[in-house]
């Protein structure tokens, strides 16, 4: 480990060094550390690294929080060191998981989103809206030449924090998420009408025939576990039987739902919009939620807005919010979407609330598949979360008694939520 550095993790990664951090902190890297500073004019004095999140709060990457003290060449020798706090995101441990991430191009998508899509949209909005286009959608990204690596500003230094995933989100949180998601979607919609090439650069969808085997490895064991667990609940044997019959065609059905889209509807989807990929800021006076930033853009692509909304609504709200306030939230989304595209100069037709409801109904099987996998993890205690670094293809295809998803779906919280969800999914005939 370099002189002057310290660590709070088991082992500091070998690539994390003074030289790496000095390169990141160059002004063209986006940190705003000074104009005219050259690549060798940032002197890193010390750095401290620790895990950025606890167990169970991130799954497809390893996150480090790094606090750096440094000086610029123009600083007086006796001046106090400058300081910045960064989040560094790299591939997780585990050969199988790394292979899965590379096959699905998760890191390539996210780097593309942070370095191209989001900055382009921000510049487009800033040129057309008062006040610079509104709050950013995401943290600032610092370029780095290291492969499969993202360096981001640490939002916690600005007062943002993650909600407790196990408690899920109440109505004020969900309202803010839907309105901000609408603004993200609407900005991409208006910008793609302005620059058609923008849409083409993000049309690669992970829900396609090429990724069929990847999806099958995860979805089928999750559904098999659900069948076994639901069979232990009173009066759920009939639904469990329907789910079992759906398993052989589940991936085909999922691909079909995601593929069949009206091109006039397409927006830039966050793609993985659940409670752990949103950081919130709260009013110091009232304690109420006041702002948010989206993080983790590994599944970003152009697709129906209903897919993003469905992903969020079936993974993150409290059950009563989803059951009692779905229409209200969709109305807020539509109002914000229309207001944003109009303010950005788009004068064409936009979808109605009824059309959005119909589209949500069409993609409901997608909501089922995301809830089976993601919601089970959301509700788990830290000691119940799977260690994905130890996952293997053989483990995923094992009998349900040792299937890694069994423990997640056997919790009381999972039972309580899914005993409400499954009758609704069955009523909507998604298993027929």
Q: What does the pLDDT profile of the chain (432 residues) look like in tens digits?
A: 333 444 344 568 899 999 999 999 876 533 333 334 454 578 899 999 998 876 555 557 889 999 999 988 778 888 899 999 999 999 887 676 677 677 667 888 899 899 999 999 999 999 998 877 789 999 999 989 999 999 999 999 999 999 999 999 999 999 999 999 999 999 999 999 888 888 777 777 788 888 888 889 889 999 999 999 999 999 999 999 999 999 999 999 999 999 876 667 899 999 999 999 999 999 999 999 999 999 999 999 999 999 999 999 999 999 999 999 999 999 999 999 999 999 999 999 999 999 999 999 999 999 999 999 888 888 888 777 665 555 555 555 544 445 668 888 988 999 999 999 999 999 999 998
* pLDDT at residue 39, as a whole number: 45
Q: Do 202 and 70 belong to one domain?
A: no
End position of a domain, from candidates 102, 119, 141: 102
Q: Is residue 134 part of a domain?
A: no
Q: Do 297 and 196 belong to one domain?
A: yes
DSSP state of 374: I
| CA of residue 238 relative to chain centroid, distance | 34
Helices 353-362, 305-313: crossing angle, 10 deg rounding: 70
Q: Is residue 265 part of a domain?
A: yes
Neighbours of 35 (CB within 10 A): 7
Q: Do 408 and 271 belong to one domain?
A: yes
* pLDDT at residue 342, as a whole number: 96
Q: Is residue 417 part of a domain?
A: yes
Bridge partners of residue 292, in order along the sequence: 280
Q: Is residue 65 part of a domain?
A: yes
What's 196's domain CATH number? 3.90.1200
Lookup result for tokens 């750095």 = 47
Q: Is residue 49 part of a domain?
A: yes
* pLDDT at residue 55, as a whole number: 56
Q: CA angle at residue 8 from 3 to 12, to 5 degrees? A: 55
| CA of residue 195 relative to chain centroid, distance | 25
Q: Is residue 153 part of a domain?
A: no
Q: Is residue 39 part of a domain?
A: yes
Strand, coil or helix: what is 364?
Answer: helix
Task: Find the length of the chain.
Answer: 432
Cα–Cα distance between 128 and 165 in angstroms, integer? 36
Q: Do 258 and 393 belong to one domain?
A: yes
Q: Is residue 235 part of a domain?
A: yes
Q: Do 260 and 407 belong to one domain?
A: yes
Q: Do 251 and 325 belong to one domain?
A: yes
| CB 195 within 8 Å of CB 378 | no
Question: Which residues span the domain enclosing 14?
Answer: 5-102
Cα–Cα distance between 327 and 322 in angstroms, integer? 9
Residue 126 token pair = 């800033």
The number of distinct structural domains making up the chain is: 2
* pLDDT at residue 183, as a whole number: 97
Cα–Cα distance between 55 and 60 in angstroms, integer? 12
CA distances to 102, 269, 293, 398, 405 from 217, in Å: 15, 24, 31, 11, 12
| CA of residue 30 relative to chain centroid, distance | 22
Q: Which residues contact 273 (CB under 8 A, 6 or more apart)?
A: 177, 181, 294, 308, 311, 312, 316
């Amino acid at each position: 480990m370099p002189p002057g550095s310290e660590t709070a993790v088991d082992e500091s990664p070998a690539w994390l060094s003074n030289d790496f951090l000095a390169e990141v902190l160059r002004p063209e890297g986006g940190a705003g550390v000074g104009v005219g500073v050259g690549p060798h004019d940032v002197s890193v004095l010390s750095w401290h690294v620790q895990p950025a999140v606890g167990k169970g709060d991130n799954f497809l990457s390893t996150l480090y929080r790094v606090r750096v003290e440094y000086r610029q060449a123009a600083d007086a020798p006796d001046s106090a060191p400058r300081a910045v706090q960064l989040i560094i995101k790299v591939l997780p441990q585990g050969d199988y998981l790394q292979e899965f991430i590379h096959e699905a191009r998760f890191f390539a998508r996210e780097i593309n989103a942070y370095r191209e899509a989001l900055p382009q949209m921000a510049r487009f909005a800033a040129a057309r809206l008062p006040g610079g286009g509104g709050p950013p959608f995401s943290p600032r990204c610092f370029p780095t030449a290291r492969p499969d690596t993202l360096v981001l500003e640490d939002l916690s230094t600005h007062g943002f924090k993650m909600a407790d995933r196990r408690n899920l989100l109440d109505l004020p949180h969900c309202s803010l998420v839907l309105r901000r998601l609408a603004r993200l979607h609407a900005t991409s919609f208006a910008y793609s009408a302005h620059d058609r090439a923008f849409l083409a650069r993000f049309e690669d969808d992970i829900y396609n025939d090429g990724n069929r085997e990847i999806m099958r490895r995860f979805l089928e064991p999750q559904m098999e576990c659900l069948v076994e667990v639901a069979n232990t609940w009173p009066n759920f044997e009939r639904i469990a039987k329907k789910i079992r019959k759906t398993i052989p065609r589940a991936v085909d059905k999922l691909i079909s739902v995601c593929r069949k889209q009206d091109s006039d509807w397409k927006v830039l989807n966050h793609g993985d919009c659940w409670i752990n990929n949103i950081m919130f800021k709260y009013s110091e006076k009232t304690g109420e939620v006041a702002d948010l930033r989206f993080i983790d853009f590994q599944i970003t692509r152009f697709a129906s807005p209903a897919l993003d909304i469905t992903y969020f609504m079936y993974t993150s709200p409290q059950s009563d919010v989803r059951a009692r306030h779905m229409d209200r939230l969709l109305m807020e989304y539509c109002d914000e979407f229309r207001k944003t595209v109009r303010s950005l100069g788009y004068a064409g037709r936009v979808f109605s609330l009824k059309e959005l409801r119909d589209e949500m109904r069409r993609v409901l099987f997608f909501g089922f598949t995301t809830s089976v996998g993601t919601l089970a993890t959301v509700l788990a205690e830290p000691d119940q979360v799977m260690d994905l670094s130890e996952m293997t293809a053989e483990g995923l295809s094992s009998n349900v008694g040792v299937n890694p998803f069994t423990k997640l779906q056997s919790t009381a919280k999972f039972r309580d939520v899914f005993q409400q969800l499954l009758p609704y999914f069955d009523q909507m005939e998604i298993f027929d």
